[in-house]
Structure 1
């Protein structure tokens, strides 16, 4: 058993802002009649279940469904408390990154749950291929918290921030905390 880091996601109380990590990945936010909803399509059910737990911890009602392609989808209930996030993360109908956004431990955990994957001795945090203007600001935000990534795949269908090097990986691992209790999660979780 590893020791809980002072900076890990488990040491920070849940908040609505945690869910912005979903938007750093391929998540979407839509405004609906004075309220908003966050949603994200993920590659595996364990990811949807862990994100649903984070949504519930933040005080919202989660829903897990399937897309037409039978891929897991997790979303929040429509809630007026999400309007601020929707306003900050969109310009018109285009997803954008707020200028001062910095991913804290729980935001990094949500991002890792939504789109994290190992790559040999490195780790990838997936980006939204449909929102290329968010890629560089997200890389900058990661640099400002001391995890300098490399932006990769910007011309392909799987853009990501690659985190490499022992110190950077250790910082990511310390922030995101322990993996969900699922065997599949363990193989997809960052480690040093």
Structure 2
């Protein structure tokens, strides 16, 4: 594997705003006088544990509870906290979830999005989006494009709703940005990293030949 860049989530300081990656997926945030609470339904113990750990890195207590559903349904929810209020204000307009203007898809944001709703597909990689807020998709696609991981929307028949990312350079950038993920996650969770060397600027390259001036050629 090629060396990770300093833009990787492994090297970036955690920020509460990174938890917007859960809201880019199908997460929800609510507010009260006691603060804001972030929650998201997950279908895998390892994903849930990883998200709880990421919350803890940002100073937020979280828990996972089992809820009734058609399949394994794990509800990850944070405790109510004033630290989450800026996130709630940024991601809501009225009572509706909305993408912040000029959203920056940072390394930590990408990592949380991948942990919550990312999976490899036959063609590329899918970042799941909220089926209940389709109006957020165009803004998320634009934000991904600004981050160098441009994608396109795919519906349920193609494994969505999700933003599909294809291409060696984009997949390499995504894998590099997300960084090292827990080893016990589902096999299809991590972006394919065999492409990382295509993007990594540390990849060895053959030296360029030194240009020779015509006058030097005559002297030779």
Q: Normalising by structure 1, what TM-score?
A: 0.94
Q: Is the 8 A contact 1:139 1:148 kept in 2?
A: yes
Q: Is the 8 A contact 2:115 2:189 kept in 1?
A: no
- Structure ID, larger Rg: 2
Unaligned stretches of 5+ residues in structure 1? none
> Structure 1 runs of 4+ off > 6 angstroms?
154-157
Question: C-alpha distance in 1, partners of 2:88/2:159?
Answer: 25
Q: Secondary structure at the match of 1:30?
A: strand
Q: Secondary structure at the match of 2:164?
A: strand
Q: Is the 8 A contact 1:179 1:186 kept in 2?
A: no
Q: Is the 8 A contact 1:17 1:107 kept in 2?
A: yes
1:57-112: CA deviation from partner (whole Å, max 9, x where unpaired): 00010111112224111111100111111111011111000012111001000000
Report the CA distance between 1:16 and its aligned residue.
Answer: 0.6
Partner of 2:97: 95
Q: Is the 8 A contact 1:179 1:185 kept in 2?
A: no
The root-mean-square deviation of aligned C-alpha atoms, in Å, is 1.7
Q: Is the 8 A contact 1:34 1:83 kept in 2?
A: no
Question: C-alpha distance in 2, partners of 1:33/1:154?
Answer: 38
Partner of 1:116: 118
Paired positions, count: 191
Report the CA distance between 1:123 and its aligned residue.
Answer: 0.2
Partner of 1:187: 188
Question: C-alpha distance in 2, partners of 1:173/1:101?
Answer: 20
Unaligned stretches of 5+ residues in structure 2? 196-220
**Is 1:75 aligned with 2:74?**
no
**Is 1:177 aligned with 2:179?**
yes
Question: C-alpha distance in 1, partners of 2:166/2:4?
Answer: 22
